[in-house]
Structure 1
Amino acid sequence: MNKSPDSLPPQLRGILGARPTRRGLLRGGALLAAAGALTACGTKGSSNTGADACTAPTDTSATDKTLNFSNWPGYLDEDPGNAEVHPTMAEFTAKTGISVEYVADVNDNNEFWGKVSAQLTACQSISRDIMVLSDSTAVKVVRQGYTQKYDLSKMPNFSKNLAPMLRKTEIDPENDRMVPWQSGLVGIGVNTNVTGEVRTIDELLTRPDLKGKVVCLTEMPDTMGLMLHSLGKSAAKFSDDDFDNALAKLQKAVQSGHIRKFTGNEYVQDLVKGDIAACMAWSGDVIQLTAKDEKIKFISPDEGAMLYSDEALIPITSAKAGNVMKLLDYYYDPAVAARLSAFVNYVCPVAGAQEEMAKFDPELARNELIFPSVETQKKLEVFMLLDEAKDKDYQSKFQAVTGA
């Protein structure tokens, strides 16, 4: 769960800076399931209940030059003197005349979904035209029919500049249901003030000097993706036996006392203080820490890191899809994307942004946590798409090991 630095002990605020971390806890989509039965595959609603019975309203974008945008904290550039001013967004408004009410109120996927699911199920407005959800949640929302399709003919920048590694993915084969806002890597975070570098998941879970000083993530796809990689299996395509074997390896590390606990974003506090030596970690969190203490490092494990994205969706009840597409296409201009990425420090989903960033910050443009090299990309995988029954089964098994 995201935690504002204002709520942290004073000694940590300088390290963590003013921006909260982004990646929220996921608990198996319980609220999504409560909103309606989710379909087993594909990205199209499959029943005549819930949002499947809704029809998107007439688009009023031509006459209503406004947008309401819900996003995660720390996911838009800010003016150094006023955090409520977002320079790239202000330029979009000046260019198009579309004013944007921007709210960073997505602190947790399930928590946010709990705010809006009832209205969407009843085909009622949620007073939002864009909502950004993590990919494993976004696919469930899309499946149930709670979102609108993008018209790619109106999004030339997106169509041209979406990064190759994010094209034609299993969760959105035509890239017309979700627009990646930012992406990130799941790998290893290490505080080298208290231990040496950790290069592999096997090291993380077996090295004697790390016993009791390791934290893993509460999100099943991220932790289990790395565990599958540690067995030489693909996280993008695996069997039930593969999953069970990877879980058994994780359980062994838990039972031996090697793993201290499973957490969400709160691992950053323990990593900064040195209370833990190493952990499974999200890249954007760690790169923000590294800027304050170069001894804190994110390492892409030798077995390969995991890749995730946070997806921009148009709610089925929005009447401003045209405005949304203009906004998102604007952020797929490489020059704009470069400025945004220089602030948020997550993996940039826009091809050409690296070259643009190199014009004003060559060192940052070489950072593999923002622009993974082709060689690194070859080792990145997105966790396999699961149907509802399989997801429930795997989540249950995982939580039995983590104690959730």
Structure 2
Amino acid sequence: MAPAAITLAADAPTLSAANTGFMLICSALVLLMTPALAFFYGGMVRVKSTLNMLMMSFISIGIVTILWVLYGFSVAFGTDKGSLIGWNSGWVGLSDIGTSDLWDGYTIPILAFMVFQMMFAIITPALISGALADRVKFTAWALFVALWATIVYFPVAHWVWGTGGWAFELGVIDFAGGTAVHINAGAAALGVILVIGKRVGFKKDPMRPHSLPLVMLGAGLLWFGWFGFNAGSWLGNDDGVGSLMFVNTQVATAAAMLAWLIYEKIRHGAFTTLGAASGAVAGLVAITPSGGAVSPIGAIAVGAIAGLLCAMAVGLKYKFGYDDSLDVVGVHLVGGVVGSLLIGFFASGEGQSKVEGLFYGGGLTQFWKQCAGVFAVLAYSLIVSAILAFILDKTIGMRVSEDDEIAGIDQAEHAETAYDFSGAGGGAARTSVPAGVGGASKKVDA
């Protein structure tokens, strides 16, 4: 990810219309990923929770957009304050940012960089929602999103990508969000579910996806939008690294999908659509931090390893008893950790930096740096997220009632249902039972 500072000097680069247009397109692609995530998650839940799952993603667009404009961008990318947060008072409400002001050392406006990063901030809390399916009050979720973005995401983004942030200065590599987005969200999901507990019927009732076509649609749109997420993070530089990241995104995702399916066939005897979709997402997650540092062959290795390990990890919730509804921990936390740490082995020294991993003669120096970034973000997000969930649970309550959960959270929280079959076929069909068969003539529903 690009360094974070403001440059207004007379010798600053001139505005590039091509790079600016590219970044705005990438921003739109990243925004598309949040509705795509809503479809992906929405298809994985039971019918009675579909709308709630969609809304948990959509509300993040509204809340985080406003917070990012008011102060989030300043906290994440403003002037460093103690290596932990940034702050530029003139950026509050974007008040002192001119339309012609360029981002530090780049040929794009600050506003283009700001809106690109806004889309990252939007999708990160939305990722958490999949772990909480079926059981969280919508008001409590909305308040959690606002608090979590403020206390966790904005500072962590500064650590990882902001000039002066401790992880950035240490040399932790995170091209597009393995730590700041995926580990951050996955650890938060684990922290919250440990507080709010399991769904009614966990490990007893069938909780199968209600619409696998919807899952596949969401996964396909995520894959499409992820090219903006990843390739756009080089901010339009013309040195080929963005193109490398684009190629590696495709390669790693394909490898992860195949690895997941092979594991699934061996372990469970079938190639499933849910496995294909989940494997693809695992590959996308793992290549996000590493794709600018590894070769395409390295990307195949990263994707295959992530696909295999994530496929194995999703079953851990049954072993350890935490109810991660849609495998956010198994895919995003594990995938983010795998992709981030493998940089220490597969960094080729020919991508975004000259850093070389263990397999390219660089020893373990970068691996230990990656460990520092990975486990600091994991611990901070898990602990703070659990505290936030605990406070909300003890004040306004995080969970819907057991009766509402059983009856369906869509109706309880949104007064709607995803599907209305009452008018199918122009009205309910009727038929008659002949007189003398079981008594007098009767009318019954077909």
TM-score of the pair, normalised by structure 2: 0.25
Structure showing the higher strand proportion among its residues: 1
> Which is bigger in relative contact order (C-alpha 8 A, separation at least 6)?
1
Q: Which has the larger radius of gyration?
A: 2
- Which has the larger share of helix? 2
Task: Give the TM-score, by structure 1 length.
Answer: 0.27
